[in-house]
Each structure stands twice: as structure tokens, then as C-alpha cells.
Amino acid sequence: NVPAGFVRRKDFGSDFIFGSATSAFQIEGALGEDGRGQSIWDTFAAKKNLFSPYGEDAVNHYKKYEEDVKIMKDIGFDAYRFSISWCRILPTGKKESRNQKGIDFYKRLLMNLKTHGMEPFVTLLHFDPPQALEEEYDGFLNRKIVDDFCDYANICFKEFGDQVKYWITVNEPATFATLGYVYGTHAPGLSSLNANYSDSSSSKKQLYSSSTNYATSVAPYLPSDDDNDDHDQDEEAASDDDDEASIFPPNRFSVHPPKKNDMMNMSSGVKGNSVASPVSQEVLPATVPSKKISVKDPSEYPYLVAHHQILAHAKVVKLYRDNYQSRQKGKIGIVLNAHQLIPLNKRKRNQKAAQRATDFSLGWFLDPIVNGDYPENMHKYVTKGYLPEFGADKYMVRGSFDFIGLNYYTARYVSRQASDGGNYITDQRAKFHVKRKGVYIGEEQGAAGWIYGYPRGIMDLLVYIKEKYNNPLIYVAENGIDDPDDDSSTHWKSFYDQRRIVYLHDHLSFVGQAKQQGVNVKGYFVWSLLDNFEWDSGFKSRFGITYVDYDNGSKRCPKLSASWLKSLLAK
């Protein structure tokens, strides 16, 4: 067994829950089995050939769930976070299409978890809404999805609610709205950055093709509250050698242009300036929608999609509270992701930029569900007319959670980016950096290139949420780092994942420190139990504490990090 290091289980208190996390589309396989319908990721992954070379059944959890529960049990986890596939329960997305075989699968899984004393944390939607609703009414671009999501949730509460004490409505609504509808790197692959919209009535609006560097191509307009900042030269001068990054991809694979040989260059601890991302992957071009989308201006997509996710979340919380909670005695919440965003330097305008960027990602969802409205910064900076209003929904949205799930992976420096707005990227007037004065923000770099481990960020974010949002109950719902895929000559190295141990150890230690500072954080979930389908990176990026040998009947083999967790969790 691997020594636990400086973190001790007992420092977290006896009611603190340790677990691992997965999601349906990333692990289940069996996409065409037992009456399952298609999700938007079926379509997207096929179009982009993302299952290559291992195929859609690679992880095969649908068949191997019992083995997977045993693995968790053996490590000593208390809990398991997984998601239900909407299109397994309702193949067309609608309540009329109820599919008993899909329901039975999750019943078997829940029964198995119960047998092993594992507490389920169940996510209703993890990036994979039904394709049929996309075709019928453009999915989350349309408010109609709110009622269909409620019908689906209602069945889940009815069928599974006796076994589930922790419900999560939506996973990472910000990632869904930005990667799916701004960058187009996630399903459904729409983009606000394509120059495929022109409306003569708003000729001032700038839309950029995905190859345009939006960071430098916008008119240098300064937000007025920054006008009386200090008179330093433009931020470029201060950050010439700082690699620009996007808070989200597509820039993530081009932060360090991959070198040819790096695919095989497995490294435990990528350090210094010159190491390229080991995963070689092109930035995926955004898909131009094959059908006509009802929303006219693509710049509006992410704001609408975010709004409908918030309403869908809130209405399902209301449903649970009105009809199930008193009997089933569970809690319900949402999982939000955030990078820790740090001003590039002490200049006021950069501090404001970091706050703006935080409000455009975490605050986008946390402000509404805590306070009933979007952050002031969004009201001020979102292109006029594109920030939806809550109106009477405000009362349903405000307070619509029992706990917050936080997914934390990495951090960015932020400086101001002068702009006159126009889309989600430029509206923020913020520019993201992974380096400051030539030094990376974090030493441990993930395979896909967007994670730079910055462990104290998890504490800073937890404390920030506690202070700004009235000390909510929090679970860290995901935290982890990825290694590159390997081949038979190198794959033994994947088991010796010291870098993951260092990463998890350091983050856990800061979760403990956040707890000492009074943050009401009651659990921690590693992403992920298994190597799995990492969205637009396909199988090229491995987040598991358990190795999956895709070439070999998807055989499972716990990595060194699993042994380390086992000794940490031993009571």
C-alpha cells in the first residue's frame, strides 16, 4: 500500500463522504441496446469519429457494472456519483416513450450499490440530452425542454427515489453552454464564433470564424468603469511571453502545440516551459448546423441554453420538493464547474477582469439559484438583449438547491481584454493565461493540455463560495487529472500514476484546509473511477484511477493512485 502522506481521513470528520464519479455516456457503451434512444453525443461522436480506435463499447460499464461496484468497494469509497441516461429511460425524450429495460438497468445498478453499502449520488443530465428533442425543437435552445426534463425527472424520482438520497439535476451547465454552443467542441457542436450570421440591422456586431484570433481582432474599446485605471501600456506588454489560453477549449490543444513523438512520451509530472502536451489532437472545427436553427443570432445561443438549464434545474427541484422530498428524504442540488481565476497582476483592471470572468462562469448559475438573478457584471456586459430575464421565474429559481456540487480541475490568470462585446467570449472583456512571467500557473499538466494543477485554487474557490453565497452545503463532485493514451509497449507506465497521486493528495489537503476555515464541504469525488470516453478527446485522455485495457476486453486494473486512495480511506 502507498502511504497516505499528509492527508488523514479523520481530519475530514466522520460524516465526510469520499467517492468517485463517472457519467453515462462516458462509460456505458451498449448505445443500441435494450431500447436506448440516441443522445446528442451519439450524433456528435459519430460525426467527428471520436470513438476511434476502440469503439463505442470500449469501457462497457453497461455489462460490467457489477465488477465496477466491486472495485469501488475494494478501494473503500463511501459513495458513487453516476448519471442516468435520459434516452435510456425515454428514447425520444418524451414521457410517452418510457423504456422499461432502461429503467431496469439503473435499478440493478442501485441494488448492487446498496448491497455493497455504497451511497449513490445520481445526476439526471450529464451533457447527453436526447437527439430527438434536438430535431423537434433545437433541444436546450428552446424553453420547451424544461417540461420534458421535468417529465423525465419525475419518472426517475418515482422509480429510483427510494434508493437515492442525493440528486443532481444538471452537470456543469456552463461547460454545456460554452463548449456545445460557443466553441462547438462538444455536442451539439454549434458555435457562436462562426461567421455564418449576418443581420444588417446590427452591422456593428462582430462575428468571427473559428480560425480568427478574437483576442486581438476586436476594436479597442475600454469599459467605462476602467477608464480611470492607471495608465500602463496595454496588457500585451506585461504579458508578452505568457501563453494565451482560453478558459475552455478549443485553445486547450494549442497551448503547447503537440510534437509528433509526444504521443508515446508518457511523463509523470510535466514541468518547465518546453514540454508539449502529450496528446496530439487538432482543434475540432465547429459544426455548421445541418438544419435551420430557430434562434437567429448564434451569439445568443449560450445565454439561452444557460437560461433553460437553470429553469429546467429549478423546476425539477420544485417537483422534488413538492412531491417527493418529505417521503423520500433526499437532498437535491446542481453541479457547477469553475476554474480558479486569478488577476494577472495587481492592476485594478485585471482584478476586475478576473471578477468578471468568474461571474460569467460560476456566477452565471450560482447567482440565479442563490439570489434569483444573473450577476451584475452580466447585466452590464452581455451584449444588449441577449441576457434573458427571469421575470416571475425568479421565485422558483431563487433558493433552488439543498447543496452545490463543485467540479474543480485548474486555474487561469486573467487580464482585461478591451472589446465592444458581441458574443460570449468578447462580452467578458477578459483574456486567459496559463503563464505569468514565463512560469506556468501549475506544474502538473494534464494530457489534453487544459489542466494545470493549482491545488490551492480548490480552497480559494470553496472559501469564495462560502463567503459570497451564504455558506451553502458543498460537495466536491469532480477533481482529477488525465494521462495520455498509451500502447502495449508503454502501458505499464500508466499504472504508475504518481502524478495523479500528487495531484489528488494536494487538492484533498486544501479541501481539508477549506473545511478548517468553516466551509461547509461534506464530500469529495475523484474524477474518475475508470478511464473513459473523454468527450472531444475521445479515448486519448485517461482520467481513471482504474486502468481500462480497451484492446483487451476492457479489462480493469486499479492504478497506483487507487492503492493510495485505499490506504487513505482505510479506517
In the bound state, the residue with its beta carbon closest to ligand PNW is 248
Return phi, psi of residue 14, to 5°. Answer: -75, -20
Burial of 228 (0-12, 13-18, 19+ CB in 10 A): exposed
Q: At what angle do helices 301-323 and 173-181 cross, to 10 degrees?
A: 150
Cell of 452: 494545470
| Closest C-alpha among 441, 453, 445, 449 to residue 412 | 441
- For residue 175, the minimal CB distance to ligand PNW (Å) is 5
Nearer to ligand PNW, 250 or 388 (CB): 250
Q: Of 103 and 335, which CB lies nearer to ligand PNW in the complex structure? A: 335
User: For this structure, is 172 an active site residue?
Assistant: yes
CB of 246 to ligand PNW, least distance (A): 8
Q: Contact positions toward ligand PNW, by CB under 6 A?
A: 23, 26, 171-172, 175, 248-249, 337, 407, 450, 478, 527, 534, 543
Catalytic residue among 159, 444, 478, 534, which?
A: 478
Smaller CB distance to ligand PNW: residue 92 or 541? Answer: 541
User: 23 or 277: whose CB is closer to ligand PNW?
Assistant: 23
Return the closest-CA partner of residue 51 out of 483, 448, 535: 535
Question: In the complex, what is the shortest distance from the CB of residue 478 to ligand PNW, in angstroms, rounded to a whole number?
Answer: 6
For the bound state, the minimum distance from the C-beta of residue 122 to ligand PNW, rounded and expressed in Å, comes to 14
Which grid coordinates are listed for 319? 417537483
Cβ closest to ligand PNW, residue 251 vs residue 494: 251
Torsion of CA 223, 226, 230, 233, to 10 degrees: -20
Q: Indicate if 478 belongs to the active site.
A: yes
The residue among 175 and 239 lying less far from ligand PNW, judged by its C-beta, is 175
Q: Which amino acid is at 417?
A: Q
- Return d(Cα 102, Cα 171) in angstroms, integer: 21
- Which one is catalytic: 134, 172, 300, 444? 172
Nearest distance, CB of residue 21 and ligand PNW, angstroms: 8
Q: Shortest distance, CB of residue 103 to ligand PNW, whole angstroms?
A: 23
Question: 36 Cβ partners below 8 Å, 6+ apart?
Answer: 30, 85, 87, 88, 91, 99, 102
Q: Which residues contact 179 (CB under 8 A, 6 or more apart)?
A: 185, 186, 248, 249, 535, 536
Alpha-carbon gap, residue 162 to 502, rounded angstroms: 38
Residues 442, 436: Cα–Cα separation, whole Å:
11
Coarse DSSP helix, strand, coil percentages of the chain, rounded to the nearest 5 percent: 40, 15, 45
Cite the active site residues.
172, 478
